[in-house]
Chains A and B, each alone.
Chain A
C-alpha cells in the first residue's frame, strides 16, 4: 500500500483544518483566511494529482486499481462499525475534478466577494464544503459517505443563506435544506436496510463489503413481502437520496432557488460538485443498482436502473423546458444544471458508470465556467441579474464573453471541439441502444434541442444588441460610486478572469479523453489500458447518433438565432419573442409548470393542516391532561400548606413558647455568682449529712 493511499484522508482534512482556522480568524483578517483556504485547497489538489497518478500507474502495471483502508470506529455488541476510505479510478477522477474546480472557484471568489463584509466567514464555509465534498468522494463506507453528505447539505444551507438578511435567501436556504432532507430520509432508511441485509456498510472489504459479490448475491436472492428483491428496494431508497441532492424531478424545486447564494457558491456547489454528489452516489453504488440474479438468462436493465433512467430523462426535458422561459441569468443556468443532471442520471441508467460520470466531469467544468461567467457579468453590471436588462456586453467584457461562449457551446454540445458534445453523445448513443425503450433517447434529443435553444437565447440577450442597462441605472446614479468608477459595465479583475480562461481551456480539451476513438475515460474507470483506434467511430450506431445530435444542436442554435438574434432586442420591457408567439405556454413555462404552486397547495398545505391538528391536539388534549394533573398537584400542595400553617406550626409555636418561659424561669437561678452556687452546695451537703446521720440512727 502506497503512501498516498494511507494518507488519502489528508485531502479532505486539509480544507477542514483551513475551515477551522478561518473560523477563528477575525473579520478583518481577509487575506489570512483567503490564503489559508486557497493554500489548503492547492495542497489537496496536489495530493489528488498524486492519487490520480498512483491509479494511473497501477492500471498501467496491471495491478488492482482499487485500494481501501478500513479502520474500526466503534463497537456495539460484538460487532465493530468500520469506516474507511478508498482510492479507485472513480475516486481519483472526482478528487482531481473537485479540487481543481474548487481551487479555481476559491481564487475567483477573492475577486467576486472582495467587497463583502463577511469575507472570512465565506471562506470558512467554502473550505468546510470542500472538506465535506472530498469526504464524500473518498468514503469507502456508506455511513462515512452519509455523514459527509449531510455536512455537504449543511454547508450548502449556510452558503445559500450567506446573505441571510435577504428574506429570499433565508427562505431559499431553508427550502434547500428541507427538500434535500426528504431524499436523505429515504437514503437513511435504505442505509439501515442495507446494514440489516449485508451486516456492513463498507463498500469494499476484501470480499466482505456490501458492494461485493457475496453480499449482492444474498441481497438479490432475498425477496421482500411485495416480491421485490431487497437489493432493488435498497437501491431505490438510496437513489431517492440522490434525487434530493441532485435536484431530480420531484425534488428539483430547491436548486433554482438556491441561486440566491453568492455566485461562486452557485458555481461550486450548485453546478459542479454538490449536486453531482447524487450522481456520484449512484455511480458508487452502481453494483447494487445493477445487481441481478445470476440465473436470469437474458440480462436486461434492473428495476432500479430503469427508475434512474426514467427519472433522469424526464428531468432532462422538464428542466430544459422551464429554462427556455426564465429571465434571471442564474436561474436559466440552474434549470440547465437540473436538466444536465437528468442527463447524467440517464447516462448512468442506460450506459453505466463511465457514461454518466464522463458527463459529470465535463459538465462540472463548463457549468462552473458558465456560472463564473454569469457572476462576472453580474459583477460588471452592478448586481443586475435580469437578462432583459443587459445586452451588448460582448464589446465591454471581451474575456468574459469569449469564455462564456466556450461554456455555452460546450453545454449545447457543439460538435467535435467541445467536451459537452462527446459526453452528451455517449449518453445519447447508450440511450439509443437501451433494451427497454427508445423513449429516453427521444427525450434526451429533445432536451439537447432545448438546451441549444435556451443558451442561444441567453447569449443573445446578454451579450448582443444594445445595452439596456442604462434605463435601469438612472434610478440610483451615485450610490454605486465606491464599487465602480462608471455606470457602464466593465470587465472583471484578473483574479476572476484567469479562472474563467483556465476552465474554458478545460471545457474544450476534456472532450478528447472520451471520444469513441480513444475511450480513455471509459477504460480508466474500468481499470484497463486505453486503446487508440479510429475504428471506434465506425462501431455500430455511433456515427448516426453523432450526426443526429449535430443536426439537433444546429437546429437549436438556428431557432435561437431566428427568435432572438435576427433583429436586435431593443427594450427591456418588450415581451419575449416566444411570448408573442404563444403567451399561454410561455407563462406556464415561466412559472415553472407551477410545481412550486402545486407543492404549496398539496404537500405544504397538508403539512400545515397536520401542524394545525397537532397544535390543537397539543393545546387542548395534551395540555388539558397536563393541566389537570398540575391542578391536582396544586390542590394537594395547598392542603399540605394549610396543614402546615394551622396545625403543625401552631402546636410547634406553643411548645416553643413553653420552653422559652421555663427557660426564663430557670435562668434566674444562674446568678453568675460563684459563692451562691457554693452556698447551695453547702446547704445540700449539710442536708445530706443530716439525712445520713438520721438514717444511721434509726
Chain B
C-alpha cells in the first residue's frame, strides 16, 4: 500500500465519519462539527496529493489548505451565528423541528 492511498483511505474514513455525523445528528451544532470533519478530510486530500504529486517543491498544496482553513473558520463563524439566531428565534437547535420550508 502506497503512502498516498493510505492517506486517501484515512481521509475518506474521516469524510465518512463527518458525513455520517451530519446525516445522523439532530443537534445543529453537532452537524456543524461533522461538516468541519468533512472539510478537514478534503484538506488532508489536498496535502496528500501535493506531497505525493508531480511538483512537491512549490508550496501550492499548503497554501491551498491554509486558505481553506481560513475560509472554513469564517464559515464556521457564520454557521454558528446562524444557529444562534435560529435558537433565539425558535428556542431550539433540533434540526428536525426546523421544517417550515416544507412543501
Taking Cβ atoms with an 8 Å cutoff, the residues of A that contact B are: 666-675, 678-679, 682
Contacts and interface: CB of A to CB of B under 8 A. Distances in A.
Contacts of A666: 103
Interface stretch (B54-62, B67-75, B93-101): B93-101
A670 B101 contact: yes
B23 interface: yes
Given A675-B95, A675-B96, A670 B102 contact: yes
A506 to B, nearest CB: 102
B21 to A, nearest CB: 11
Given A673-B95, A674-B95, A679 B23 contact: yes
B49 interface: no
Contact of B103 (A668, A674, A675): A668
Contacts of A668: 103
A678 B22 contact: yes
B34 to A, nearest CB: 10
Given A672-B98, A673-B96, A674-B95, 20 more contacts: A666-B103, A667-B103, A668-B103, A671-B99, A671-B102, A671-B103, A672-B99, A672-B100, A672-B101, A672-B102, A672-B103, A673-B95, A673-B102, A674-B98, A675-B23, A675-B31, A675-B96, A678-B22, A678-B23, A682-B19
Contacts of B22: 675, 678
B31 to A, nearest CB: 8
B14 to A, nearest CB: 15
Interface of B: 19, 22-23, 31, 95-96, 98-103
B103 A669 contact: yes
Contacts of B102: 670-673
A663 to B, nearest CB: 9
A667 B99 CA distance: 13
Nearest to A666: B103
A682 B19 CA distance: 8
14 contacts: A668-B103, A669-B103, A670-B101, A670-B103, A671-B102, A671-B103, A672-B98, A672-B99, A672-B100, A672-B103, A673-B95, A674-B95, A675-B31, A675-B96
Nearest to B26: A675
Contacts of B101: 670, 672
A431 to B, nearest CB: 111
Given A678-B23, A679-B23, A682-B23, A673 B99 contact: yes
Contacts of A672: 98-103
Nearest to A669: B103
A672 to B, nearest CB: 3
A674 B100 CA distance: 11
A661 to B, nearest CB: 14
A668 B101 CA distance: 12
A675 B102 CA distance: 13
A679 B31 CA distance: 13
Contacts of A678: 22-23
A672 B22 CA distance: 16
Contacts of B103: 666-672
A669 B19 CA distance: 21
Nearest to A671: B102
Contacts of A667: 103
A668 B103 CA distance: 6
A233 B52 CA distance: 121
B80 to A, nearest CB: 16
Nearest to A664: B103
Q: Which 5 A-B pairs have the closest CB atoms?
A: A670-B103, A672-B102, A672-B99, A667-B103, A672-B101
Nearest to B34: A678
Contacts of B98: 672, 674
A675 B20 CA distance: 11
Contacts of A674: 95, 98
A277 B101 CA distance: 91
A666 B103 CA distance: 8
A669 B102 CA distance: 9
A336 B70 CA distance: 118
A312 B19 CA distance: 122
Nearest to B103: A670
A666 B102 CA distance: 11
A678 B99 CA distance: 14
Among B22, B95, B103, the most chain A Cβ lie within 10 Å of the Cβ of B103
Counting chain A CB atoms within 10 Å of each CB, the highest count among B95, B98, B102 belongs to B102
Contacts of B99: 671-673
A678 B22 CA distance: 8
B90 to A, nearest CB: 13
Contacts of B23: 675, 678-679, 682
A611 B22 CA distance: 96
A37 to B, nearest CB: 81
Nearest to B101: A672
Interface centre among A666, A668, A671 (most CB of B within 10 A): A671
A135 to B, nearest CB: 83
Contacts of B100: 672
Nearest to A685: B19
Nearest to A670: B103
Nearest to A668: B103
A669 B98 CA distance: 16
A673 to B, nearest CB: 5
Contacts of B19: 682
B61 to A, nearest CB: 23
A119 to B, nearest CB: 79
| Residue of A666, A669, A670 with highest tally of chain B CB at under 10 A | A670
B96 to A, nearest CB: 6
A669 B96 CA distance: 15
A670 B31 CA distance: 20
Contacts of A682: 19, 23
A679 B95 CA distance: 14
A663 B99 CA distance: 19
B88 to A, nearest CB: 19
A686 to B, nearest CB: 10
